[in-house]
Amino acid sequence: MMRRAGLLAVLLSLGVLVPDRALGIEVRPFVDFEAGPAFPGYNDVRIPGDGGTSFSLTQQLKAPVTPYFRARAGVRIGRNEIFAFFGPVTIRATGTVPYDVLFVNAVFPANTFLDANWTFDTYRLTYRYYVVDNESWQVAVGATALVRVASISLTGGGLHQVKDNVGVVPLLSFKVAWAFAGPWAILLDGDALAVPQGRAEDVFLGLRYRFGDAVSGRVGYRILEGGGDNSSVYNFALVNFLAFGFDVTL
């Protein structure tokens, strides 16, 4: 928490430390918040990846709709943009599996009531450059360094096992906005990358409305999808979001 707060403070302070008038460059710090319901799609698990038992948190088990939130803060300096991001996601699923499940270091007997928790918290630092920036179109491209703090746990029949995973993933970052009618715009915004070891996509598509120069709101659909396949973990998941957000330029 202290590292995250410190990073956000540094980013916001850039708007104060950079002498925009002296350099002739516009400097605009901003904050952004988003929330809404998360709808679990598929979530297929096998741990260990070599030798574990495959099961689904959304087919054999049942995962209800759950609320989510995410936040970011950063600064726009001319055509350059840098921001820090925090996005926690936790899906809980319960139910039974009609066969024995080898998960981590324990075998959960068939038809045992199971309680599973899937957590995928991400901390990101993103840089983007606006290749197009006018009244009608904004097109920005860049890169994101994503730190994932993930875990999958399974509890039932007096047994409890958990698999934690922490790693750093580089992603491509992009934003496209088309102001088609005054304050209204279609917005596509996200991070994504696919490699032989796995893939990750976190993409928003929806409508944005500008209430003025400093405040805008948005509503739309967000997809979080991806996973990895290796000897220790097999997990591919899809989460759908009905997203409501707003951003404020300071």
Beta bridge partners of 188: 176, 205
Rounded to 5°, angle at Cα 174 from 169 and 178: 160
pLDDT tens column, 179-227: 999 999 999 999 999 998 889 999 999 999 999 989 999 999 999 999 9
pLDDT at 23: 55
Instruction: Please classify residue 198 by burial: count the beta carbons closer than 10 Å to its beta carbon, then call 0-12 exposed, 13-18 middle and 19+ buried.
Output: middle
Answering whether pTM is above 0.85, one says: yes
Beta strands in the chain (DSSP E): 27-46, 55-56, 61-62, 66-77, 80-87, 90-95, 101-103, 106-108, 114-133, 137-156, 159-181, 184-195, 198-210, 215-229, 234-249
Whether 163 has a pLDDT exceeding 70, the answer reads yes
CATH code of the domain in which 13 resides: 2.40.128
Average pLDDT of the chain, as a whole number = 92
Q: Which domain holds residue 202?
A: 2-249
pLDDT at 1: 43
pLDDT tens column, 62-115: 999 999 999 999 999 999 999 999 999 999 999 999 999 999 999 999 999 999
Percentage, residues of the chain above pLDDT 70: 90
For residue 123, give the nearest of 177, 95, 176, 86 by alpha carbon. Answer: 86
Whether 10 has a pLDDT exceeding 70, the answer reads no
Looking at the 3D structure of the chain, how many domains does it have?
A: 1
Asked if 76 contacts 27 with a C-beta cutoff of 8 angstroms, the reply is: yes
